[in-house]
Amino acid sequence: MKVVVIGNGMVGYKCCEKLIARSASSPLELVVFGEEPRPAYDRVHLTSWFDGKTANDLLLAPLSWYTDNGIRLHLGDPVMQIDRTHKTVTSYKGITEPYDYLVIATGSAAFVPPVPGMDKKGVFIYRTIEDLEMMKAYAPQASCGAVIGGGLLGLEAAKALLDLGISNTHVIEFSPRLMPRQIDEQGAAILQHKLHQLGLKILTGKNTREVMGNEAVTGLQFADDTILPADIVVVSAGIKPRDELAKACGLATGPRGGIIVNEQLQTSDPFIYAVGECALHNNMIYGLVAPGYEMAEVAISHMCSDHKAFTGFDMSTKLKLIGVDVASFGDPFPAPDTCHSIVFEDKYKGTYKRINITPDGQFLLGGILIGDAAAYNLLLQTARNKMVLPANPEELLLGSRGTADNGAGVTALPDEAMICSCENVSKGTICQAVTDGHETLDDVKKCTKAGTCCGGCTPMVKDLITATMKAQGKYIRNVVCEHFAYSRQEMLDLIKLKSLRSFDEVLDHYGSGEGCEVCKPVVASILASLWNDMILDKGNDTAQDSNDRYLANIQKGGTYSVVPRIPGGEITPEKLIVIGEIATKYNLYTKITGGQRIDLFGAHLSDLPDIWEELIAAGFESGHAYGKALRTVKSCVGSTWCRFGLHDSVSFAIQIEERYRGLRAPHKIKSAVSGCIRECAEAQSKDFGIIATEKGWNLYVCGNGGSKPQHAQLLAADLDSDTCIRYIDRFLMFYIKTADPLTRTATWLNKLDGGMDYLRNVVVNDSLGIAEQLEAAMQLLVDNYKCEWREVVENPELRKRFSHFVNAPADKDPTVKFETMRAQKKAAEWK
């Protein structure tokens, strides 16, 4: 069988993939013509080209994939003619190829309204990588942008203009609201308001009459005689199916364009199929990728004598437009008398949710989600699978808070439920993969392809993995280890209830065996978080993680590093000299850390108390670099020196660092304070970060650097210093009380039921009524703070523990070896 595919876009590519998958059973000759200069790429994520994805990153498959599978791919060579009588096609470069079956997957072109001046310089369309390259080249000379069209693509294009640095960008929509096909008036208003906050200007009800300017565009004139200055314009007013080839060879096309196809995607010539955006099925053009993929599946299986039918496709979509979730599914706005709608709107947060249910309250017909589309997948599945609704359907929108088992929703779905509609993967397939041992998201993606296209179903796939594993009894309870059958949070509550103060007491009350390297540090950390007693007291020393036990970080070779606290990164020259002198005396390697302090490496265990005695005499204190505790509060120089500074970020950073120093938590905590929005202290990468505003401080929480970077999110804005500290007290204590062991704030938030909204409710609105309690718990710790190193230095019994040999305290470990590098020492390489 010889197949020729015209068009190597997303759907054309999918046809190749499907044909190759079936070629094992019957021999296949496959020839593809593509007009664009590169192989098929992910047009859906075109806009990510502006945030750093390269054309190569976007490819659906590398060139080698085509060669490896024996596909003859002609790029940059459009087909010019189809000869149906002889069953051949001829390309621009003059290649003539006969076919048994022909697939037309020519997609669509941007629809450019017939308005004078559209051909001026600076007017672009937004469809291919070449379009983006041209826009990017032109952008530096432009300062005000306009996008004609306020639909899905128009808003994407507006994002592209913002990304190109054109912050003064208008979106112009002909109808009275944005995205008229997907969302209703009320939703559009919320969306418009949100986009406005993000800096995008929107004009609705505007009919463009002329593109002004001589050679290059200078502005737009509207039918109401108003004028908008613009020196770069993107036209995104809709799509026009590319049916020119089909028309020329006499295939049936629709009056408004599109190649007419039947349920098998055959055109009026049974040997020619049309798929994707160029196909007109039942008077519909499908401008989305998922229906296109389904068409590819149906067409190719029909060609291989399998009987499938394309009976239309749900146009549900979920997108992130300039950071705002927008989703529309099923029937977003049925006629009022055929349904009953439940609407939830929060103007303050900018969320709008609407679901339409049948008049008898039994089934979900469709809906709209704006600002927060977390529930999209579940709602879509509920609608698609005609699942009977709960007695209070509003719970679908609001969620039943608190006890809800995260992900329980997916268990109710039938096995046939389509989870990944791009790749056509059902719930049953995913669960089977998990049962077969693919227990991570990556594994499941690899073996089922779910979540590899638009990625929208990923959260649901994750939930399915967890639910399936739970069902197999693999992950039943989040207990600490074999010695304690409780979660960390339960342990904390129990220890507090009984006022237990040592690891042994806790083990006696609630544990079994001798403990281990997992539960000991957990209990030790809980004890420290509750009482802030000296951690080396009461036999708790040996329950500490090794670094905590020696109040220093063990390094290669078995020596330790010493980090004195330098609050806010501010230090006097005199103190710098002391550090230098101590480092010289004890032969320590010195390095500035990422947290604006100085790390001294290579200290022998037995030298630690002497080193600290000298540091303390010079006014230093422990920096807790060894603990799962507050590390540093980084600061920029702020208003005392910086010409942009709004407030004194250094003083506030010092105040905060001194308040929370020594605070022990499930994991380390980092913070920073910036003096203005330029954010030189990188506060948004911290567990809690503070940025000065005209009116006070913005407090961000749950950011993370490290291996999985995550930006902190705004918890509250324009706070005065006292309120800011109170919120931090509450936030930190709530984290300490509820997080699993060794969980940073970012991961904790990601797992927190209800996420940031819930956290904000607890911290800012005191929804649990525990704010006072949290603040009091924090105050107790602040009041109990003592420098651990000072206590060791002053206590001969504790000092004694800092020797390598119990029977030769004066001897150092003779196996410790150093090498030299750049005039300092380094640990000898280990084997």
Partner 1 sequence: MSTTHTTTGTWFFACKTTDVPTNGGVCVKYNDEQIALFFFARRNEWYATQNLCPHRRQMALSRGMTGTVQDEPKVACPFHKKTFSLKDGRCLSDEHECSLTTYPVKIVDDRVYINVAEIPVMAEV
Ligand X SMILES: Cc1cc2nc3c(=O)[nH]c(=O)nc-3n(C[C@H](O)[C@H](O)[C@H](O)COP(=O)(O)OP(=O)(O)OC[C@H]3O[C@@H](n4cnc5c(N)ncnc54)[C@H](O)[C@@H]3O)c2cc1C
CA end-to-end span of the chain: 60
Cα 538 to Cα 527: distance, rounded to the nearest angstrom: 12
Position among 573, 815, 820, 821 found at the interface with partner 1 (CB under 8 A) = 815
Position among 53, 55, 69, 78 found at the interface with ligand X (CB under 6 A) = 78
CB of 586 to ligand SF4, least distance (A): 35
Pairing of strands 232-235, 123-125: parallel
- DSSP string for residues in 449-509: -TTSSS-TTHHHHHHHHHHHHHHTTSS----SBTTB-S-HHHHHHHHHHTT--SHHHHHHH
Based on the shown chain and the rule CB under 6 A, indicate whether residue 126 belongs to the binding site for ligand X.
yes
Residue 192 neighbours by CB under 8 Å, 6+ apart = 177, 178, 202, 204
Position among 44, 380, 654, 680 found at the interface with ligand X (CB under 6 A) = 44
231 binds, among ligand SF4, partner 1, ligand X, none (CB under 5 to 8 A by kind): none
Residue 447 is labelled as binding a ligand: no
Position among 393, 455, 557, 705 found at the interface with partner 1 (CB under 8 A) = 557
Read off the DSSP letter of residue 48.
Answer: G
Residue whose CB is less far from ligand SF4, 276 or 645 = 645
By CB under 8 A, the count of residues binding partner 1 is 38
Residues at the interface with ligand SF4 (CB under 6 A): 636-638, 642, 644-645, 649, 674-676, 678-680
> Nearest Cα to 73, choosing from 51, 46, 95?
95
Based on the shown chain and the rule CB under 6 A, indicate whether residue 253 belongs to the binding site for ligand X.
no
Based on the shown chain and the rule CB under 6 A, indicate whether residue 127 belongs to the binding site for ligand X.
yes
Q: Which of residues 207-246 bind ligand X (CB under 6 A)?
A: 242, 245
Residue 676 is labelled as binding a ligand: yes
Based on the shown chain and the rule CB under 6 A, indicate whether residue 495 belongs to the binding site for ligand X.
no
The pair of structure tokens assigned to 823 is 């005039």
Residue whose CB is less far from ligand SF4, 474 or 678 = 678
Residue whose CB is less far from partner 1, 441 or 554 = 554
Tell the residue number behind the tokens 């030299």, with chain if given. Answer: 820
SS (H, E, C) 267-323: CCCCCEEECHHHEEECCEECCCHHHHHHHHHHHHHHHCCCCCCCCCCCCCEEEEECC
9 binds, among partner 1, ligand X, ligand SF4, none (CB under 5 to 8 A by kind): ligand X
Burial class of 592 by CB neighbour count within 10 A (0 to 12, 13 to 18, 19+): exposed
Based on the shown chain and the rule CB under 8 A, indicate whether residue 517 belongs to the binding site for partner 1.
yes
Residue whose CB is less far from partner 1, 544 or 747 = 544
Does residue 266 contact residue 252 with C-beta atoms inside 8 Å?
Answer: no
Based on the shown chain and the rule CB under 6 A, indicate whether residue 568 belongs to the binding site for ligand X.
no
Residue 622 neighbours by CB under 8 Å, 6+ apart = 551, 564, 565, 612, 662, 787, 788, 789, 790
Residue 516 is labelled as binding a ligand: no
756 binds, among partner 1, ligand SF4, ligand X, none (CB under 5 to 8 A by kind): none
Residue 422 is labelled as binding a ligand: no
Based on the shown chain and the rule CB under 8 A, indicate whether residue 533 belongs to the binding site for partner 1.
no
Based on the shown chain and the rule CB under 6 A, indicate whether residue 79 belongs to the binding site for ligand X.
yes
Position among 116, 513, 706, 709 found at the interface with partner 1 (CB under 8 A) = 513
Burial class of 301 by CB neighbour count within 10 A (0 to 12, 13 to 18, 19+): middle
Residue nearest to ligand X (CB): 9
543 binds, among ligand SF4, partner 1, ligand X, none (CB under 5 to 8 A by kind): partner 1
Cα dist from 367 to 132, 290, 316, 377, 486, whole Å: 33, 19, 9, 12, 41
Residue 110 neighbours by CB under 8 Å, 6+ apart = 125, 126, 127, 235, 236, 237, 238, 239, 240
Based on the shown chain and the rule CB under 6 A, indicate whether residue 10 belongs to the binding site for ligand X.
yes
Residue whose CB is less far from ligand X, 158 or 578 = 158
Read off the DSSP letter of residue 23.
Answer: T
Q: Where are the alpha helices (DSSP H) in 143-243?
A: 152-163, 185-197
Question: Which residues belong to the annotated binding site for siroheme?
Answer: 680
In the complex, which residues of this chain contact ligand X (CB under 6 A)? 6-12, 33-36, 43-44, 46-47, 78-79, 105-107, 126-127, 153, 156, 242, 245, 276-277, 287-290, 292, 317, 319
Question: Which residues belong to the annotated binding site for [4Fe-4S] cluster?
Answer: 636, 642, 676, 680
Question: Which residues belong to the annotated binding site?
Answer: 636, 642, 676, 680
